[in-house]
Amino acid sequence: MSPKITTELLKQLRQVMKNPKYVQEPVQAYIVPSGDAHQSEYIAPCDCRRAFISGFDGSAGTAIVTEQHAAMWTDGRYFLQAAHQMDNNWTLMKMGLKDTPTQEDWLVSVLPEGSKVGVDPFIIPADQWKRMSKVLRSAGHDLVPVKENLIDTIWTDCPQRPCKPLITLDLSYTGVSWRDKIVALRSKMAERKVLWFVVTALDEVAWLFNLRGSDVEYNPVFFAYAVIGMNTIRLFIDGERMMDPAVREHLQLNSTLEPEFKIQVMPYGSILSELQAVAAGLSPKEKVWLSDKASYALTEAIPKAYRYLTPYTPICIAKAVKNASETEGMRRAHIKDAVALCELFNWLEKEVVPKGTVTEIIAADKAEEFRSQQKDFVELSFATISSTGPNGAIIHYKPVPETNRTLSVNEIYLLDSGAQYKDGTTDVTRTMHFGTPSAYEKECFTYVLKGHIAVSAAIFPNGTKGHLLDSFARSALWDCGLDYLHGTGHGVGSFLNVHEGPCGISYKTFADEPLEAGMIVSDEPGYYEDGSFGIRIENVVLVIPAETKYNFKNRGSLTFEPLTLVPIQTKMIDVNLLTQKECNWVNDYHQKCREVIGAELERQGRHEALRWLIRETEPLIRVQ
């Protein structure tokens, strides 16, 4: 991996930073954030502007270029990678280290008095603009929006913005029509006394209209905005895809509908001018609802007095609570996913043990192959983490030829993978040993398992936030002085983003929304020993009502039901470290895997994988 040579590019960028064709006044610094205009986790190639200008293509990082300097802020996961990928023009700013300045402080320290700092107002979230602008202003500088993206002006071979065909989802998948979702949204708007709602997150647009796309890798979304009024619906989307008869039929674009359900389709690029027109027509006390993570450009289009900002939109919250059709879809998706993994693990055992020819990449590809054989498979839901031995300790590892390691009977293998099916999204991690694990490996695995069970079997009152469950996952590890440095769970979409808000299980947040029956999250504690191995046990679980002996203040209780039904390798368990209750949990879980996945393997005629499943789900016996 050799660094990208950026001398010429930086020269060009510094020229356009002064070019009156693009900037009203010269800017002395230009900020290139990571994201796209929708604050997406996964971005399209045309939005990888920071990677283009710097060479560094990790998932998180912000570049700032001044007349003299070029600096890159990124976090601990990427120090090594950024150092490898960037040339000497760049200074690496290691976030999280004590002496690393913030972007604002650094700007103040290097800029000449009264400088202008430019940024694309569509890429920077409004809250971040506010913070940055305040610090710069107090030091005598100005943060200014630069309408034309300056990277795009010098990126001659910039890929086109993707504009792939859409998938329509009927009621059997979504449970609720887009019309009914609009009705529900409008009732939330009426409750909060707002007249307009601006949909800026791509998964929220997709969910609202029961459409999916493939403009971005892993997330089945498409580039679009929507503006919902009490009597109007505007969808901002480009391309021929809106000519597709199935899409037109789905959105009833050719029908004579009641006017309040008539969708006006407009060009993607016209969102700003349309929003400005909406704002111009507002009377006092009329409000427009936006996420507080929306871009500065769209937020600014609405004068402050008319803005209604919330951290979670009503769509984000509604989307998180899955209805019966979505839940059933998620169940089906997880059954198919489990079939694929039983096939994979059976295949690995046959290949790894005698031959030793399977690499991390081959295993990841094989997993994808088995998944793709399943009905309604669309794509993977994230880049497969296929890691063996010391690579397993790198939490966000993705095998590449330079690091690719061969699976063996001497090392632990960790596979964190998932897929998008038309009926649901999966995300599962299993940790396996194909030889004989050491007592220490088993001990660590068992603590992680105890944590996994503690969350999965937890009973808690309605209204509890997920972050209050995080310590349950760590308690067994903590007892022995161990821990893991990531959260325990994230929300999972229904044939949508594998990471979604507003709920999760993590010590890092306090602002998550309470868990509700119908929400779906992951449960994935782990343990990582640098240079040796990684362990993680991850199921996707559904929040369900719990039966309890008493019912304090009539609040009702909740618990989790695992949707993931893939055996947890009993060879890795030190059964003497489990309580009888934990042992029963494992046996009940395996019994369910055997019944549900066994039946599906049988139906699909996958007899060898079925035999593997039966063997792997033999009950544990605890010696008292």
Summarize as ranges the residues that interact with its own copies (CB under 8 A).
Answer: 458-461, 468-472, 474-475, 477-483, 507, 510, 546, 548-553, 555, 557, 579
User: Which residue's CB is nearer to its own copies, number 87 or number 516?
Assistant: 516
Using the structure block, give the residue that is written with the tokens 């709602």.
197
User: Which residue's CB is nearer to its own copies, number 334 or number 474?
Assistant: 474
User: Which residue's CB is nearer to its own copies, number 61 or number 504?
Assistant: 504
Question: What is the closest distance, in whole angstroms, from the C-beta atom of residue 480 to its own copies in the complex?
Answer: 5
User: Which residue's CB is nearer to its own copies, number 178 or number 460?
Assistant: 460
Strand order from edge to edge, sheet including 412-417: 385-388, 412-417, 428-433
Question: What is the closest distance, in whole angstroms, from the C-beta atom of residue 296 to its own copies in the complex?
Answer: 21
Question: What is the closest distance, in whole angstroms, from the C-beta atom of residue 340 to its own copies in the complex?
Answer: 34
Closest CA to 420 of 452, 454, 447, 381: 381
Written as one string, the DSSP assignment of 584-612 is HHHHHHHHHHHHHHHHHHHHTT-HHHHHH
User: Which residue's CB is nearer to its own copies, number 355 or number 581?
Assistant: 581
Q: What is the SS3 assignment for 360-396?
A: HHHHHHHHHHHHHCCCCEEEECCCCEEEEHHHHHCCC
Cα dist. 158→38, 90, 162, 261 in Å?
Answer: 19, 22, 12, 37
User: Which residue's CB is nearer to its own copies, number 485 or number 621?
Assistant: 485
Question: What is the closest distance, in whole angstroms, from the C-beta atom of residue 619 to its own copies in the complex?
Answer: 22
User: Which residue's CB is nearer to its own copies, number 91 or number 579?
Assistant: 579
Question: What is the closest distance, in whole angstroms, from the C-beta atom of residue 548 to its own copies in the complex?
Answer: 3
Q: Please say whether the beta carbons of 453 and 586 come within 8 A.
A: yes
Rg (CA), the chain: 26
User: Which residue's CB is nearer to its own copies, number 248 or number 622?
Assistant: 622
Chain centroid to CA 563 = 19
Using the structure block, give the residue that is written with the tokens 């330079």.
402
CA distance 88 to 7: 9
Question: What is the closest distance, in whole angstroms, from the C-beta atom of residue 473 to its own copies in the complex?
Answer: 11
Question: What is the closest distance, in whole angstroms, from the C-beta atom of residue 65 to its own copies in the complex?
Answer: 29
Question: What is the closest distance, in whole angstroms, from the C-beta atom of residue 575 to its own copies in the complex?
Answer: 18
Number of neighbours of residue 570 by Cβ within 10 angstroms: 16
Using the structure block, give the residue that is written with the tokens 């791509």.
202
User: Which residue's CB is nearer to its own copies, number 510 or number 605?
Assistant: 510
Q: Please say whether the beta carbons of 445 and 535 come within 8 A.
A: yes
Using the structure block, give the residue that is written with the tokens 């899409």.
247
Secondary structure (3-state) at 309: strand
Strand partners, 263: 233
Phi and psi torsions of 416, nearest 5°? -115, 110
Question: What is the closest distance, in whole angstroms, from the C-beta atom of residue 464 to its own copies in the complex?
Answer: 8
